[in-house]
Structure 1
Amino acid sequence: MATQSSTSLQDLIREDFLTCRICYDLYVVPKILPCLHSYCQKCLEPLVENGTVQCPECRLQTEVPGGATGLKSNFFINGLLELFQMKRNKDLECTICSNAQKVVAATARCLDCKDFLCQTCSQGHCCSRLTLHHKVVNLEEFLAGHYDSEVRFLQELCCQDHPQEALRFFCDTCSVPICRDCRMLDHFQHKVVSMVNAVQREKPSVEQLIMSLEGTITSISEQEKVVEEAMSKLKAKGELIKKRICDYVEDVTAYIFAQKEAALEKLNVFLTQQMEGCSTVQKELQSQKDKAKSTQEFSQHILCVGKDYEILHLEGMIRNRVQELQAYRLQRLPNQTPELAIAWDEPEELSEAPLFSFAFPQEQPGRDVQRLELGNESFTSLESDEVTDPPSDSDEDSCMSVSDSPTKSSSSYTSFRAGVEYTYSFELDPSFFALEKPNITGIAVVPHTGQILLLDQANNEIKQYSPTGQFQRVIHLSGQLSDSAFCGISVCGKILACSSETHLFFLTLEGVFLRKLQMRGSESSYALASYQSSYVAVSEGTLCSISLYSPSAFCVGRVQPDNYHGGKFLFIAINSWEEFVVSDFIKKQIVVMKKSGLILSVLKPSTSVLSRPFSVCVDETRSVFVIDQYKVIQFSPNDETGKVVLNDQSQVRRPRVLAVSGENLILVREDGRTDVYSL
């Protein structure tokens, strides 16, 4: 035990342990902070600001009203410094017989008297009656540290107020060590015990505290392992995501280049065929032209120098030849100009819209949360169904010619392979266009009247049509309600609901403003749907939830699907059974759920004919209709496969939004052309 104590003490009596971490010199008046870090008093004084000092190592703030001098002195460091400084001096002299005239080197040390002795004095020290029992040790062994433990045991700390007196008592009242004089003077009325008794009383509790640190250290070590495992998983997941992104980009790049080569090759074959046909026609025309010139020259020569009878003799032949040349008509001109249709034909979206998004588990973003988002999509709603602009949709550069009356034009339905029966079409009248090209992002059908409302996001207008497609009027939204573009529309009874960024507006069916409210989240646009005249449902994007608002602008409920995270709700519809149908933009699937949040079914590309679901609506039989690129897909109740009821083969005018009104399916193209089909 003594060996272990000596070894431990020897480790402490070294210069680096006794060096201040601020000045990197031996401690001078060491002061100890509550965090158990010690520094020189003079080094701590510049660190005191406004009655507090911050530990340079652990940053713990400590109040020091009296400055650095008011901190506790580190007597433990002081005692070790005394030992270190004694052993540091190798040229020690006898403290008994050395004087100004002579210096006698010390050879021994008395542990009791604390004197350094020469050989003569050490012999006399052992013979004197007063010092007979003192322990005199060899100086070399003393300096080597063989007696450090005994020296530490015999060390006595003197009182600062009475330097000649050792601190041998402890005042329980003041919780400070005191000397004999302090006990008789300042602490006479206090509860005082001997230093030995005080140590014996407090030492077990200190030992218990030290032992309790083992559990703390073990707990921290376990938490470190958890953090390390989390960091490893995070790093592995990050590397996996990086690889997936890189692989995806490589695959998409390879696909795009393959599509490029295939398209260019097809274009070259087509152009070659057309150019060959045109060249053949060109040669034929040149031949006819040469014949006409030859006939013209020959006839002119006859008129100029021919005899009368020669002219009359050849007149019939010339007439027949000229008539033959004039009767020539080009039988076939195989000149066809190719047209190009690109799935994503908006360069500004390619440069601005993010391609990748991240969905973090159990994330609940608020208004001030910044979030990574897939695409710069804008979307809107229709009554009991929701619509949006997908990033892959392209807008036409110009609008087609339009009429305000329904037409029986076959240009719409002849390009469709349909499972429904075409009824009629109508287009937007150019006389009603505002400054911008129309961008129809929403449709709603007024209950009982069947009036069709088309929301033009580009001009912040609602265009109203009769059930037969006759134009009725325009409701202007810009300026009077919001400076931002409107994107969502739905009819709740006799109330018209519109969304603009994070605000929900309620208007009369005539367009008179009633009230507005702030919605949850921080989406750029919100999808709307209505359930009868009870409430307006708002699809809340990455929150993967639906909020319900009454026409009087109160939140009356919230639909949160069970254990559903990492998606982004865009399009929404509500059927007559009060079942919610939403389109998930990120997961590319349709989710059907109850008002309680119970998920009834999930329509996925892996188990159905879906590929990229877009706008959704429902009919009275609970069937779901989905726009999927250039197709319209119908899902009957309990049918998770679906069937294609409309398929645009021309792929020129992309379907954009749709709604069901009675027995009719209303389909709106991206340029505003509206087709009505009988279900």
Structure 2
Amino acid sequence: MGEEKQEQPTLTELIETDFLKCKHCNKRYASPVLLPCLHAFCQDCLTTLPQKEVTNGNSRKLVQFQCPLCHSTVTVSKEMSPTPFLQSLCQLHTFKHTSGRTCSYCRFDGKNEAAEALCLDCVDDMCEACTTAHKKTRLTRNHTIAPYNQILNGLFDHDIRNCQEPLCPKHSAPFVNFCRDCEMLTCKTCNAESHRGHSLEQMEAALTRLQPEAKSFVQGLRKRVPTLTEYQAFLKAQLQNLEKTRSEVVEAVKQQAENIHAMVDAHRDVTLAELDKEFSKEEATINGRSKDLDVAKKSLESNAEFLGHLLALGSPPEVLQLHAAIMARLKQLIQMQPNAMTQRLAPSFQPGPASLQNMRIMFGTLDLQRVPINQEEGGPKAKLSISTLLPEPLDPPQLITSIPVKQENDCKEVWPSGLCLRKEKMVVVDRDNKKVKIFDCNSKPAKLTFQFSGKAEHMLKQPFDAVLLENGVVVVTDHEAEKVKIFDVTGKWIGDLEGDFRHPRGIAADNKGQLVVVDGLLLRLTVHDADNGKLVRTIPATDASGNKLLVDPFYVAITEAGHIVVTDHAAPNIKVFSMEGQHLATYGRYGTSASEVLKPYGVCVDRYGQMFVADSDNHRIHLLLPDGTFSKFLLNHRHKVAHPVTLAINSEGHLLVGEAFGKVKVFKYL
């Protein structure tokens, strides 16, 4: 196949193409910078990319980032200079689009005259009058004047390019040589200062020497295009095969969905048939009782009619003759009671735990395996089966250890209002002693390693809850100080979370570097960036009508799915929101029975999405399914749990329960 000759566009054509558009912002270049990978971008666009500062052997400051086009790692000087070739073409493009250009000289006199021409030597815009004067002045009479209407038609493109000589960025002087040792252009001052003794050659000679090599590289690149075209055809065939495979998988998924739908529909029909059967029985019972009452009513009416007529019209002998029968019947009627119903049918439907996780387990798994390009797709792989949709909790849970929180220097009884874990460290907020206590869980039993209360104006006034971040920073809610304070690993205050707080209580961290704080007075949630403490968003926690959903909120937890779980002393006691603020679910009524809570405090979520709620006054821990429905009482007073306040899950999957007055108990529940 013969090589197809690439047609080179003219200069006029080139500057009107996308060649002068930045591949990042898709606009005309503004100070174009050419990267080592030969991809150009606006200087400002490059500054917006994520950059890392590095230094070379000469301690020169450089920046490192990824090219937005080819994604290769680029290391360049921090002071990136525009590329003269692209800068000059952009300037030519600007000259050819004269809209709004005004005379440079008239502006000195405060005038605003439209520019009619451009002096290529001075690079000044001129009106018609100034153009005439420019041609008459001795110093400028030999300058090249280009009318803008002719520039627009491309008549001065090459004249303008000939006047666009790049200057030495260091000395602002014209380049005269090319240094073969340093592979760079030099001016006269450069030659004398830093290139003395180097191999210097005239620019024309250097271009004559280097241009053939560059052209051969271009030809080599163009020869690779057919190979890439062939591979593109191969990829197209792969795409067609992929679409065929996709159709087969889609059909299998749809068939599974239809099978599940059929089973669901069949179970629905059985359930509805059972409901209809019970309704028919109840209806027959009610109708039977109604008929009995109708007979009794007619009997009473007939008796009343007969006795009324007898007493009104009967003679004394006639009345007295029937006296015994009448009295016997009256006694029967007085003692007669309707066959009343003692029970009624009260049907309801309790949906099963139809969580997304359980649905995925039931539906099946999409295996997105990857195989060598020439290997056929394999059949289904053998996989471990899941015996239950959710793990079955131990009954009863096993008490692993009990950690005393009270220390000798505590002035008051311990009230562990906050509890959190990070790897081997456990943080307990002792509200009444105004301390944050940090324990090493690797020790058996866990040992207190450090405690702090803040200093001076950053002293903790009434701490409530805390989170321990990956970097060792402890973030503490202090509702008396109306702040959420940040302390480093030594207990030194390093700042506060941004935002307006009135009674900050519970705080939790998600797996995306965000913190959520619940305010007990403002009745809202705030989301913050864990890295800088900035306020990301405020969640008003309202319903569709704008009514407040929170009444007396205390603690907060975040699920793996990013849902926010809040405990509230007002029923319903558990409220669940999305991270965007949408109200998703509620749970709990006031009381002592199942699904009832007296005083909810701490809440946490395990890796299965199951929720645990501390019901302090009922001395028990509620276990909720991922959809928020009640599962069971995981712990209660029979397990020696008294006034649970705070909850947490450690890295081993054990449940930690912080009790009022001083202990943290660790339970194995799975």
- Give the structure-2-normalised TM-score: 0.36
Q: Which has the higher contact order (CA 8 A, sep 6+)?
A: 1
- Give the structure-1-normalised TM-score: 0.36
